[in-house]
């Protein structure tokens, strides 16, 4: 039976890995010190810095944030702070959310055909909304009914996908999860979701062999009988 909802990853799935690693991450790293100097005492930022401090006691938060950035850590406070830093860039036009050319048309067709759409990324919910809201294809946020980040749990944990299915009030088997990362697909499959790996040649992704694999969203649509 065709899925009733699609849950999609961002980096490596809707969006080039290079955009995240070569544009978004350096933007946040370059703006970090100035952002903390200007906004570090604001309640939202101070709360993030307190979380960073609690995760690495005795270390200056800025140093911990820089170490996490260098490690491509998915630590929730880092992701929250990156989202706050990117906001300025999206709002003044220095950043535009990049999507693979096949993605916007499929998302629109899927939503128009009655599929429910949601995002699950390590990037914060705020960062997800910025990327889709300021995308090169316009504001795509109205297409999505849900945005999930690591507040729901890690992407390699089956419980996270069970929690998302519960939040969407759908049986897990009615949800198709799209990701480039095999371990995320393994976790989603363990929770009972349908899965498809995005194997985008430009990203250098290799098919893991454990899940259906497609090179792009039209391939996903054909394989799973999605509208459009
Ligand atoms: C919301 S765009 C930034 C993505 C990001 O920060 C990241 O770590 C990528 O994670 P994903 O789960 O989308 O692969
Ligand atoms: Mg990914």
CB atoms inside a 10 Å sphere around CB 227:
13
State the pairing for strand pair 213-214/5-8: unpaired
* Distance separating alpha carbons of residues 208 and 203, to the nearest angstrom: 14
Domain boundary among 47, 70, 91: 91
pLDDT bracket for residue 1 (50, 70, 90):
confident
CATH number at residue 44: 1.10.720
Is residue 140 classed as helix, strand or coil in its secondary structure? coil
Domain boundary among 69, 91, 113: 91
141 and 72 within one domain: no
Q: From ligand 2's centre to the CA of 48, what distance in Å?
A: 24
Q: Are 131 and 13 in contact (CB under 8 A)?
A: no
What would the two tokens of residue 90 be?
A: 């999206």
Domain range for residue 173?
5-16+98-224
pTM over 0.90: yes
pLDDT of residue 52: 98
Domain boundary among 67, 91, 115: 91
**ipTM rounded to 2 decimals:** 0.96
Q: Find the residues whose C-beta lies inside 6 A of ligand 1.
A: 9-12, 20, 24, 74, 79, 82, 121-123, 127-128, 131, 155
The pLDDT tens digits of the residues spanning 62-107 come to 999 999 999 999 999 999 999 999 999 999 999 999 999 999 999 9
- Please, what is the Cα angle at 40 between 39 and 45, to 5 degrees? 90
What would the two tokens of residue 45 be?
A: 């930022």
131 and 213 within one domain: yes
Residue closest by Cα to atom 4 of ligand 1: 123
Q: From ligand 2's centre to the CA of 52, what distance in Å?
A: 24
123 and 41 within one domain: no
């Amino acid at each position: 039976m065709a899925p009733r909802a699609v849950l999609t990853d961002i980096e490596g799935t809707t969006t080039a890995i290079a955009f995240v690693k070569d544009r978004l991450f350096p933007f946040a790293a370059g703006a970090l010190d100035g952002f903390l100097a200007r906004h570090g005492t604001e309640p939202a930022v101070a709360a993030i810095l307190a979380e960073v401090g609690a995760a690495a006691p005795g270390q200056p938060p800025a140093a911990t944030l820089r170490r996490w950035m260098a490690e491509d850590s998915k630590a929730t406070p880092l992701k929250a702070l990156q989202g706050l830093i990117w906001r300025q860039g999206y709002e003044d036009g220095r950043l535009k959310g990049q999507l693979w050319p096949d993605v916007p048309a499929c998302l629109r067709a899927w939503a128009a055909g009655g599929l429910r759409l949601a995002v699950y990324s390590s990037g914060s919910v705020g960062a997800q909304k910025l990327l889709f809201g300021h995308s090169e294809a316009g504001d795509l946020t109205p297409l999505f009914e849900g945005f999930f980040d690591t507040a729901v749990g890690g992407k390699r944990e089956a419980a996270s996908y069970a929690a998302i299915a519960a939040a969407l009030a759908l049986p897990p088997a009615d949800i198709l999860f799209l990701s480039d990362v095999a371990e995320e697909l393994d976790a989603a499959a363990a929770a009972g979701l349908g899965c498809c790996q995005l194997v985008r040649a430009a990203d250098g992704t290799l098919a893991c062999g454990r899940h259906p694999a497609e090179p792009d969203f039209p391939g996903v649509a054909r394989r799973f009988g999605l509208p459009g």
